[in-house]
Amino acid sequence: MIKFTPILLALLYGLVMYRFSVWRTKRTLDSQSTELADPVLKGLMDRMAASLDLKRIRVNIYEIDPVNGLAAPDGRIFLTRGFYRKYKAGEVTAEELASVIAHELGHVALGHSRRRMIDFSGQNALRTALAMILSRYIPFVGAFVANFLMSLLAAGLSRKDEYEADAYASALLVKSGIGTAPQKSLFKKLETLTGANGAAAPVWLMSHPKTAERIAAIEANEARWLSPGQDV
């Protein structure tokens, strides 16, 4: 039992830190956000709500400058003020912004936030176990190797979530009559909109799939959905 104590403590630490992160995120979002009120976007959100048999879809504006969308652990959907400004400036269309909302709805519907709690806690425990084992054979370096391996695992799980949320968004956009063209066109704009460098990191260290791969996955889903006997 003593041998497993550090691993159990790491698992408990992961759970506590995740809960603290959720509490801190909620507090920040509550104090720095307001409900989105845009008639054009509301029309598109109402179409998606109807497709989901919901009365409405509520989206909030998070008052920060970076371009992003996010699904909070409590299920709320947010667009940043920076993203909304891009829309108002004509750099992003209403349909493209609706595709972001659909993507974040996918994260909520598929339980990605809840799954992150399990993943984070499990990874923390596994990191501790690996560090203990590797340090026996490669002292002083084992902990760094364990951290690197866990970073690879976390990035892979994150990319998987993004593909799943993309697929959910595609299905919702098609069902709502909006289509996937805005989703794909937004992906092509994202690096410019966010100021990201597309060649900054190898794919296996990235939390999001590369643009070309995301678009290819969307088109593969569309081809499958359009084949005889398939439904969205």
- The residue ranking higher by pLDDT, 47 or 229, is 47
Go through the chain and tell me how many residues it has. Answer: 232
36: phi then psi, degrees, rounded to nearest 5: -70, 130
Residue among 173, 185, 160 nearest 222 (CA): 173
Cβ proximity of 70 and 100 under 8 Å = no
Spell out the domain ranges in the chain: 2-225
Tell whether the model's pLDDT for residue 80 goes beyond 50: yes
Range 2-12 average pLDDT: 61
Name the helix (H) or strand (E) containing 184: helix 181-194
Least confident piece of the model among 116-120, 175-179, 219-223: 116-120
Question: In whole angstroms, what is the distance from residue 147 CA to residue 41 CA?
Answer: 42
Q: What is the pTM of this model?
A: 0.79
How many other C-beta atoms lie within 10 A of the C-beta of residue 202? Answer: 8
